[in-house]
Every structure is written in C-alpha cells, then in structure tokens.
Structure 1
Amino acid sequence: MNVTYTHQSICALKGSTVDISCFYTHPSWQNVTEVSWFNKWESGVTKDLSLNPEYADRLEYHQQTDKDSTLRITDLRESDSTEYKFRFTTDEARWGYSFPGTTLTVTGSQVEVTPKWSSESKTLSCITTCTLSNPNPIYIWYKNGQNLDESNSPQYKDPVSSNYDDSYSCAVKGHEDLLSPAVCVQGQSCSRVTYTKRRICVLKESTVDISCSYVGYYSTTSSFWFRSDKSTPEDLTTDPGYAGRVKYPDKETRRNEGPFILRITDLREEDSAEYRFTFKTNNIEWGHSFPGTTLTVTGNTTLYDTTVNHIELQDKYINHPVNTEVYVVLYILFQVCR
C-alpha cells in the first residue's frame, strides 16, 4: 500500500480554488471501503474534511477512483494554510496518517513600494508570501483603477514618479478579482476604491446593497455605479433596464471619501453581472477596468451569500433538516452560488 502526492507544496491566492491530488496503490485482491482527506489528527484519529464546518460548501472530492483522488477547495482563506493528507481503508488494512502530505499556503498579493522613505522615484513590486504554484504568472498593474500594463515580472517595468493622488494595485492574470489593495506611492491619502464584497448571491425579487469605500484626493465632482459588461460605462440610475429599481441611499452624505452604496430592488436574473464604481475629481477619473463586485441572482427559494460563513445555516437545515425538500433546495442553491 502506498500514497503518492502530486505536489509536496502548493501556493495559491486567497479567494481562488485549489486542487490537491494523489495516487494510491493497494493489493488487487483488496477492496477499498473508505477514503478521506484530513488535516488534523491525534492519536491516530483523523477527521474527514468533508464533515468540517469550516469548509462548508467550499470543499469537494472532485475526482475519486480506486487509484487516485483529488480534493478541491474553493474560496480559499489564509486559515486554510496547512498540511493535507489522504487516507484510505480496504477490507483488510488502513493507510496510516503519519506519511507526509501536501502543504498548502494561501497568500494575498500586495504592492511593495521601495524605497519607503521620501523619494521622487519609486519601484513597485507585486509580492506574495510564497511563490505561486502557477509556473508562469502574468502580473496586471492598475493605476487609479485603470489597466496600465501586463508583465511576466512581478516588478513594474519602470520606476514611478507619481503625484500624491495616484494609487497602484496589482493582480495575477486569471484572478483579476483577487487584486491587491490599492496603495499610495507618495503619502497616505491617494485616490482609491475598496469593495466591501467581491461576490454576492441573492434571491430573485429581493433587494441587495452593493457597497464600496473610496477616497478622492481632491473633492469629487461626480460618482456612479455601472455594469462592467456595457461597452460604455453608464450610470445605473439612468439605465432604462433598472428604472425605478436603483438608488444611491447615501448620496446626500457623500463628500470626497466614505462609503458609497448601490441598492437594487426587485432583482431579476438578468441583473447578474459585475458592478463597478467610478468617480471623478478635478485631477483624475477612477478607471473603469478596476474589478468590482460580482452579483449572482438566482431563482431558488433559499438565500445563500458566498461571502459569509454559513455554519449556522448549514447546522439548522442540513445537519438537522426539517425535511428532504429543504435539504435539496439548499444543496441546489449552494451549487448555484459557490
């Protein structure tokens, strides 16, 4: 009997999806009776990860045969960083728990600005706490929310000499929605936008608030939300498809910084889209290519929001289901909004 892991270590971005896989062998006359992945063990006792509420609706045994197994974890969190192991049992023996597995490290990206002291010329690097398992990552750079450049190097191609209102952020291509926080190159009060949630799933005919916080180095002259799939950014309050269903509830309190909320009522499935926020000052316009919040509107009858922990919901309806119908509805909704 033996287990061979495809990778000894994996480095993945926070919020992304990872596959951890292995191959295993056993005598041909033995039948496999049980398989499981785990990351905690004590005195030989292991706990199947599929039963761990910390991974509720984020984990599945994506591929499982009598020779190989793949563990898939979605919406990765930094707390998922640990060693993962596979265990199987046949009708005659059980594979042990002490054999080394695959170590997962979950990291976020961030912009490093050097030198840190005052200088007219700065160098920008897109850094992570570990080397990404993607063999040839492409880095995307944004300046004031506008797509600036793509490169195979984590270091931006030119030294930067910026105004105090300029901010920069970076992302790995294919994971644009997992971009780094925008950072100021000069000073601490540059223009920037931070979305409260990157993904939201809600029910058809319900109401949703999509929000962000923003800072304009100078006084804001205009601001609005728009759909990213439109060829030209259009203020949703003037879009006929949202007539009477969209408003900015905090509009009267806005200045040159603070929260900005988009409220959509009577949601329709065709409202499913990515929503972005932009603003103008006398000096800049926040770019239209900066990734925003993706909304999924489902016709199912039970609410699930991918950005929060639903252990309590799962315990109430799945671990102790009222009836089979409730269980099935929840399961379908989990699949739609995962």
Structure 2
Amino acid sequence: MVLRTAGGHFSLLVFLWSVAVVQSQNVWSVTYTTQSICTLKGSTVEMSCSYTYPSGTVTSTFWFTKKFDVENYVNLINDRNYKGRVKDRSDKTNGHTLRITDLRESDSAEYKFRFITDQTGGKYSGYPGVTLSVTGLLVKVTPATVTEGQKVTLTCSTTCTLGDNPTYVWYKNGHVTTKSTSLFLNPVSSEDAGRYSCSVEGHEDLPSAEETLTVTCEDV
C-alpha cells in the first residue's frame, strides 16, 4: 500500500528512506574515527574504526601496516616489531580499537583495518587508513650562536604538529623554569647559560634531550 498526502510528498520520503536502507545493507566499509594522528615517542595511542558488510558472520579482524602480496597481510599482533606493545579489542556494534604502547618513531606508518567473513569473497580492508606520526622532542636555540645582550628563543621542536595546541614545560639544569609555547631570553646574559630541555604538559615523563646553551660575552 502506498501512503499519500496532498501532492504525494510523503510517499516520496518513504521511497527515499527505503532506498537508503537497502544501500546501507549492501555496503562494505571501514570508517576511522580520525585520519591522522601526531603523538609523542614513548606515549600510548588508540585508533578506532567501525565497519559494515552485507551478510554473513565476521570470522577474523585485525590491523596491519604491511602487505607482502595479494593475500599476505601481516597482523600487527604477529609483527615482531610490535611484540608486547599491541592490543586490539572489538565491541558488539562492529567497532574496533587498536592500542599501541611505548611508541617509537619507527611506528610512524599508515594503519589499516581488515575483516573477513564466512561468505565467499567476503574480505575487506579499509583504505586509506590512519596515518600515525610519532615524534620526539628537540630543543632548538635561535640564533645558534648566542652573545650576551641578544634576544634568544628556545623552541620545543617536533617533526609533526601535535594536536590541542600543547603547552610546553621548560627545564634548566633539570629544574622547571616556566610553562609556555616557547622560552624567550631577552636580553640573554651569562646567567642564562645551562642545560635546557622541554616536555609537553601532561607528559612530563617524556622530556626532550638536554641542549646546552652557551652564552659568549660581548667584546669590550
């Protein structure tokens, strides 16, 4: 039975809704919560996705970065480079989360999710995946050669852009000096010389290596 109102608008809406439902039931897809992540070396990251498929039962799910040939995907859990650092979990609504601890810069890669069903040809990988960039912290001194009386800027440098506009904690000779995006010494004096390092607020356990600031006296 076709439902109608004046002008037939209601029947059109019912038809469009029905088409959308049929299409969603026949789609293979993987949807990632985010497409790119920049995070600190030594920290922990989680990547999540949801997936859909037309029919059958899912028999296998896994994340991968390496594929050697058509059907040779390397499950991260079996990758010796991630041994003991990877966990994945699924939920009842076709969601899946990958967790990697103690991140290394070599973990920077594109992570993809794959699932297999009990149907003939029922396999699917989500492309593109999540691009993970892992960065350390490095103190950059500008200018490189420092003379008393100059304006000097110390920046906590990364190889990718960390999210949420982080605040950096600055240390001199192992002691906290301030919290700011950059550290400004203006004018710099011989008393400012020392070993400087930085960390991201909230991740103080992951500091940069120390950088020695040497201040040269002005010529008289």
- What TM-score range do you get, normalising by the shorter chain? 0.7 to 0.9
> Relative to structure 1, is the Cα distance of residues 102 and 145 closer, same or farther in structure 2, using a 3 angstrom cutoff?
same
Distance (Å, rounded) in 2 between the aligned partners of 1:150 and 1:46: 45
CA distance in 2, matches of 1:20, 1:182: 31
Q: Residue 68 of structure 2 corresponds to which residue in structure 1? A: 42
Query: Match of 1:40, SS?
Result: strand
For 1:32 and 1:47, locate their aligned partners in 2 and report how far apart those are by CA, in whole Å: 18
Tell me whether 1:104 sits opposite 2:132 in the alignment: yes
Amino acid at match of 1:103: T
Matches for 1:33-72 after TM superposition, within 5 Å: 33-44=59-70, 45-72=72-99
Alpha-carbon distance between aligned partners in 2 of 1:66 and 1:89, rounded to the nearest angstrom: 16
Compute the displacement of 1:117 (Å).
2.4
Normalising by structure 2, we get a TM-score of: 0.77
Structure 2: gaps (5+ residues): 1-27, 216-220
Relative contact order, higher structure (CA 8 A, sep 6+): 2
Match of 1:183 among 186, 208, 211: 211
Q: Do structure 1's residue 5 and structure 2's residue 35 form an aligned pair?
A: no
Which residue does 1:130 correspond to in 2?
160
Aligned: 1:142 with 2:171: yes
Does the C-alpha gap of structure 1 residues 184 and 129 become closer, same or farther in structure 2, counting only changes over 3 Å?
same
Q: SS at the partner of 2:147?
A: coil
Paired position in structure 2 for 1:220: none
| 1:95 pairs with 2:121 | no
Amino acid at match of 2:95: D
Deviation at 1:119, TM superposition (A): 2.7
Q: Distance in 1 between matches of 2:92 and 2:116?
A: 13
User: Quick one: which amino acid aligns to residue 145 of structure 1?
Assistant: G
Q: Would the aligned equivalents of 2:112 and 2:125 in 1 still touch at CA under 8 Å? A: no
Once the two structures are TM-superposed, the CA of residue 168 in structure 1 deviates from its matched residue by 1.2
Give the TM-score normalised by the residue count of structure 1: 0.51
Kindly indicate whether the alpha-carbon contact (under 8 Å) linking 1:124 and 1:159 is maintained by their aligned counterparts in 2.
no
RMSD: 2.0
Residue by residue over 1:19-54, the C-alpha shift from the partner in whole angstroms, topping out at 9 and shown as x without a partner, is: 111111112x42111100000012222011111121
Which residue of 92, 108, 113 maps to 1:86? Answer: 113
State how far apart, in whole Å, the 1-side matches of 2:90 and 2:189 are: 49
User: Deviation digits for residues 106-151 of structure 1, max 9, x if unmatched?
Assistant: 1101111001123323111111010013x13121111111111112
Q: In structure 2, give the amino acid aligned to 1:88.
A: F
SS at match of 1:112: strand
Matched pairs, number: 183
CA pair 65-137 structure 1, distance change in 2 beyond 3 A? farther
SS in 2 for 1:147: strand
| Structure-2 change in CA distance of 1:119 and 1:63 (3 Å) | farther
Once the two structures are superposed, residues 244-297 of structure 1 have per-residue CA deviations (whole angstroms, 9 ceiling, x without a partner) of xxxxxxxxxxxxxxxxxxxxxxxxxxxxxxxxxxxxxxxxxxxxxxxxxxxxxx
Taking the aligned partners of 1:82 and 1:159, their CA distance within structure 2 comes to 40
Once the two structures are aligned, what percentage of the paired residues are identical? 48
- Of the three residues 175, 193, 202, the one matched with 1:174 is 202
The 1-side partners of 2:177 and 2:160 are apart by 25
Classify the secondary structure of the residue corresponding to 2:183. coil
**In structure 2, how many angstroms separate the alpha carbons of the residues matched to 1:43 and 1:160?**
60
With over 3 angstroms needed to count, the CA separation of the structure-2 counterparts of 1:5 and 1:130, relative to structure 1, is same
- The structural deviation recorded for 1:178 is 0.8
Distance change in 2, residues 1:162/1:91 (3 Å): farther
Corresponding residue number in structure 2 for 1:230:
none
